[in-house]
Amino acid sequence: MLENSIFVLLALFLLLGSAGMVGFKQTLFSAISFMMAMLALAGMFALLDNSFLFLAQIMVSVGAVVVLSLLVIVSVNVKEENLPKEPAKFRWMLFAVVLVAPLAIVIYKALTYMPHTWAKTGEGYGSLKMMGMTLFKDWVLPFEIVSVLLLAAMVGAIVIARKEPSNDA
Amino acid sequence: MFEQLFLILPMAIVVMGAFVLLLLSKTFSLDKLNLVAVFFLSLSFIIEILRFGTTTVCYSFPEIFGKMYIIDDFSILFDLMFTAGAILTLLINTAYFKSRNYYNGEYFALILFSVFGMMILAHSNELVTAFIALEIASLSVFALVGYHKYNKVSSEAMMKYMILGSMTGAFFILGTAFIYGAVGSTNLEDIAAYVNVPAEKDLVLVLIGGIFIMVTILFKMGAVPFHSWVVDVYQGAPFPVTMFMASTFKIALFAIALRLSLIDFASLNIVWSEILQVITVLTLIGGSFLAITQKSIKRMLAGSSVVHSGYMLIAYSSIGLGSDMAAPAIMFYLISYFLSAAGAFGILSFIATGSKKMMTYEDFKGFSERRPYLSAMMAIFMLSLSGFPSTIGFLGKFYIFTSAIESGQILLAGLGIVTAFISVYYYFKLIAMMYFYPSTDQQKKFPFDFSGLLIGVMAMMVIWGGVGTSLIPFIPGANGLIDIAKQAIDSLQNVL
Amino acid sequence: MMEITLQHYLVLSTILFAIGLIGVMRRKNLLLLFFATEILLNAVNIAFAAISSYYGDLTGQMFAFFIIAVAASEVAVGLGLLVLWYKRTGKIDLDAMTSMRG
């Protein structure tokens, strides 16, 4: 019973947050709604007994991604008049809803083929210990190449954003 | 233990090369860094070439990697193409990056990271690994596209590519979620086992999941409903990166597409073929239209690369209709396209070294008087791209159309031939510009260097692949290449 | 009150994916485009976590974990590019991208 109401609350926050992210004109408000969505998502993971994902979501998505974005928003500090002009934004969005709706229906129809009820999850499912065992016993290769991915992304970001001493050509 | 290490050695060498390049990037000059990168890539290339045909299908470190990293002739052949493509990209453009002020050491590291991602992609036998590998390759390519950061066009190209690329990347994982929901595993063999058992199971989830995965792959190939980025990104990227994307990155996508299609979705292919046929028709027509309307050679080659994806999609949709020839035909076409496109882009960047303007058809007027050898090679690559007989491109198209006819897709083969004739227009226009117009500039002296020599060798290979048979032992001609392609596909199908 | 099933999580994931797609399609603020792609990836994460719980199998959780890492790396490169873009043009507007036409 409690679980149900928690789910409903979290889902509400998640949807409101992401809808706000898409809807707000001010970038800062969007970023804050995005943070709300990410926090609600972390709560979802906790509700699903995924303690490790809960931690990762808080640390990476909220701690790193959102904070980094806020930092960029504050340091870039786009003036109100320099924000993109989006006249009739919501009318266009309605149009987009119409476009996306068939896809969403396809996804939904496909998902109805999945089973409806919960199977019993095993003892200790989602505990950090089990997660660590799986990660380092069966999933070593993806884990290692994700490290390469992060390194490549870091190099790429630095190369793109760094100020060169040389002249502008 | 050491045997196992030896199995992953080629890819380990590439990623270690990237680390070494990062460490050296501030101390070495660009020339030396280039040589270091080429050294690591050729080391990997040599190991792979020694191994091709001698290894049986196996998994590396099965006790900790599971069955995620597979080694077979199929993936080794792709590795050979990736490393060769990267080596050619680096060597042909030695003069180019010295003439521009925005290159620095990280450029080489990013190329090696990208090659590493592609190699893992070719070897991965599991969807999670494949997704991460695809992301490594694409993120490095994103950064490479925007490498000319003082140029607005380059940054704009990167922005477009990146936003669309990460959006379609989400479809790959959505598809994986569906397949995982149906099968309970993301390993390709488990999925194949699930799909191939003819029990009354609903394959709807797997089918829709497969379609979503294909959306991502088709987007990165530049097939037509998802092609809007191709021309702009190819134009905005620096020449060496365009060459790398057109010749090497495109091949990587066919590696995963072929593996998925042949192992997993073999029995679903009949349902798929109709969707693929529609996409193929659109790609052929839309790509031809894109290529015809361009004035700049770089944009024309970008548009025509969409058409070439279309040719390969003809054979790709024939796979499900029971053509044995189709998969080797794609491999052969990949090799032929790789040689011709890398050569054509190589010449463009070779010319662009001296001038900074955008190259249009007009700029090539009388090119044969100024640079007779280069224009002869350019003509050879153009002939090969248009599928003129006695070049490797002709044989590639021949095998593709044979496979289409074999599987009963006569109309599709007909459309392919029609677009091949259309392509004659935009390729021969360049040849005509080079040979039949007087030169506007004075004749310059011909600087001769290593890049020119390499391009010459590639032109010879294009001709050799078209006319050469096994007259000279030890050097594979066209017969040899198609045999190699068949051997690679066989190694893939013997898994089950 | 009805019980929360796998279905509810999957429907939630679908709606979130659609919201993300709408954001990518119709907003012109470049920063929001990166947020919207994050939403897309995270929508799939819900599905993965839920299916994983359903099967009692940790594969889905692993995938969700890797997706979090991939999303973070995409945002890192994207924000780097955004800063560069803003420094040059003074805007974060998708419509400013018009230097290549035809």
- Asked whether residue B495 carries a pLDDT value surpassing 60, the answer given is no
Q: Report how far Cα B322 is from the mean position of its chain's Cα atoms.
A: 25
Q: Tell me which of B55-59, B149-153, C65-69, C77-81 is least confident.
A: B55-59
Provide the token pair at B209: 């999941």
Q: Name the residue among B132, B155, B185 with its Cβ closest to that of C85.
A: B155
- Out of B30-34, B120-124, B450-454, pick the least confident: B450-454
The ipTM (two decimal places) reads: 0.92
Chain C residues near residue B160 by CB distance under 8 angstroms: 97
Q: Which of C62, C74, C100 sits opposite B156 (nearest CB)?
A: C100
Tell me: pLDDT of B208 over 70: yes
pLDDT bin (cut points 50, 70, 90) of residue B114 is very high
Residues A18, A96: one domain?
A: yes
Nearest Cα to Cα of residue B262 among B312, B320, B306, B196: B320
Comparing CB atoms, the residue among B110, B132, B146 nearest residue A142 is B132
Least confident of B117-121, B205-209, B472-476: B472-476
Q: Does A73 touch chain C (CB under 8 A)?
A: yes
> Domain check: are A20 and A97 in the same one?
yes
In this structure, the answer to whether residues A72 and A128 fall within a common structural domain is no
Q: Is pLDDT above 80 for B258? A: yes
Chain C partners of B235 at a C-beta cutoff of 8 Å? 100
Do the chains contact at B158 and C100, CB–CB below 8 Å? no
Considering chain A, what percentage of its residues have pLDDT values greater than 90? Answer: 21
What pLDDT band is residue C91 in, cutting at 50, 70 and 90? confident
Q: Does residue A16 sit within a domain?
A: yes
- Block residue for tokens 């030169």: B439
Pair A97, A24 in one domain: yes
Q: Which of A49, A67, A101 is the last residue of a domain?
A: A101
What is the structure's pLDDT at C68? 92
My answer on whether A96 and A22 are in the same domain is yes
Cβ under 8 Å to C: A residues 83-102: 83-86, 89, 92-93, 95-97, 99-101
The average confidence (pLDDT) of chain A is 82
Residue A112's pLDDT is what? Answer: 73
Lowest average pLDDT, out of A35-39, A125-129, C6-10, C50-54, goes to: A125-129
Check pLDDT > 50 for residue B156. yes
Residue A117, domain member (yes or no) = no
Residue of B nearest to A163 (CA): B149
Q: Does residue A52 sit in the same domain as residue A133? A: no
What pLDDT, on a 0 to 100 scale, did the predictor assign at position A123?
61
The helix-helix angle for B73-92 and B478-493 (nearest 10°) equals 130
pLDDT at B470: 47
- Please name each of the domains of chain C with its CATH number: 7-89 (1.10.287.3510)
Beta strands B70-71 and B58-59, pairing class? antiparallel
Could you read off the pLDDT of A64-75 as tens digits, one per residue? Answer: 888 888 888 888
CB atoms within 10 A of CB A3: 10
Percent of chain B exceeding pLDDT 70 equals: 92
Chain A interface includes B17 (CB < 8 A): no
- Let me know the angle formed at the C-alpha of B211 by B207 and B213, rounded to the nearest 5 degrees: 115
Q: What is the pLDDT of chain B when averaged over all its residues?
A: 84
- pLDDT for the residue numbered B488: 79
A47 lies in which domain range?
1-78+90-101
Q: What is the pLDDT of residue B415?
A: 92
Tell me how many residue pairs between chain A and chain C have CB atoms under 8 A apart: 238
CA distance B478 to B416: 21
Domain of A5, CATH number, reads 1.20.120.1200
The residues on A that touch B, with CB distances below 8 Å, are 106-107, 110-111, 113-114, 137-142, 145-146, 148-149, 151-153, 155-160, 164, 166-169
Using an 8 Å Cβ cutoff, are A112 and C7 in contact? yes
Q: What is the pTM of this model?
A: 0.92
Domain assignment present for residue A72? The answer is yes
Average pLDDT for chain C? 84
Predicted confidence (pLDDT) per residue in C34-55, tens digit: 889 999 999 999 988 888 887 7
Instruction: Using the structure block, give the residue that is written with the tokens 């493509």.
Output: B85
Please tell me the least confidently modeled range out of A88-97, B208-217, B328-337.
A88-97
| pLDDT: which is higher, B113 or A113 | B113
A136 and A97 assigned to the same domain: no
Residue B200 — pLDDT band, cuts 50, 70, 90?
Answer: low
Q: Cβ–Cβ of A65/C7 closer than 8 Å?
A: no
How confident is the model at residue A129, as a pLDDT?
83
| Better pLDDT: B447 or B287 | B287
- Final residue of a domain: which of A68, A101, A134? A101
Nearest CA-CA distance, residue B59 and chain A, Å: 12
Please determine, for residue B17, whether its predicted confidence score (pLDDT) is greater than 90.
Answer: yes
The chain C residue lying nearest B233, using CA atoms, is: C100
Asked whether residue A13 is assigned to any structural domain, the reply reads yes
Q: For position A33, what pLDDT does the model report?
A: 92
Residue A136 lies in a domain: yes
Nearest CA in chain C to B186: C59
Q: Of the ranges B159-168, B372-381, C92-101, which one carries the lowest mean pLDDT score?
A: C92-101
CA dist A149 → B209, C39, C76 (Å): 25, 20, 12
CA of B104: how far to CAs of A149, B24, B431, C83, in Å? 20, 11, 35, 20
Query: What backbone torsions phi and psi does residue A122 show, to the nearest 5 degrees?
Result: -70, 170
Does A107 fall in a domain? no
3-state class (DSSP) for residue C5: coil
**Segment B298-344, tens digit of pLDDT:** 888 888 999 999 999 988 888 877 777 888 889 889 988 988 988 89
pLDDT tens for B56-79 read 777 777 777 777 888 888 888 899
User: Among A50-64, A126-140, B320-334, which range has the highest average pLDDT?
Assistant: A50-64
Please give the tally of structural domains in chain A.
Answer: 2
Q: Cβ–Cβ of C20/B170 closer than 8 Å?
A: yes
Count CB-CB contacts under 10 A for residue B328: 23
Q: Does the pLDDT of residue B236 top 50, yes or no?
A: yes
What is the pLDDT at residue C102? 44
Identify all chain C residues contacting B128, using CB atoms and an 8 Å cutoff: 59, 62-63, 66
pLDDT average, residue stretch B465-488: 67
pLDDT score for B496: 45
* Cβ distance of A101 and C32 shorter than 8 Å: no
Of A120, A19, A61, B215, whose CA–CA distance to C12 is shortest? Answer: A19
Query: In 10 A of CB C101, how many CB atoms?
Result: 5
* Cβ–Cβ < 8 Å for A20, A33: yes
Mean pLDDT of B109-138: 93
Chain segment B411-428, per-residue pLDDT in tens? 888 999 999 999 988 899
Q: Is A113 domain-assigned?
A: no
- Contact in structure between B134 and B116 (CB atoms under 8 Å): no
For B479, residues 6+ apart whose C-beta sits below 8 A from its C-beta are B469, B470
Q: Which positions in chain B have a beta carbon within 8 angstroms of at least one beta carbon in chain C?
A: 128, 131-132, 135, 139, 142-143, 146, 149, 152-153, 155-160, 162-163, 166-167, 169-170, 173-174, 176-177, 180-181, 184-186, 232, 235-236, 293
CB pairs under 8 A between A and B: 94
pLDDT at A167 over 50: no
A96 shares its domain with A138 = no
A28 & A96 share domain? yes
pLDDT at B229 over 80: yes
**How far apart are the C-alpha atoms of B234 and B232, rounded to whole Å?**
5
pLDDT at B487 over 90: no
- The pLDDT value recorded for residue B456 is 86
Same domain for A137 and A94? no
Judge if A94 and A141 occupy the same domain. Answer: no
Separation of alpha carbons B485 and B142, rounded Å: 30
Decide if C66 and B128 are in contact by the 8 Å CB cutoff: yes
The secondary element (H helix, E strand) that includes residue B294 is none
Residue A68 counted as domain residue: yes
Same domain, A141 and A67: no
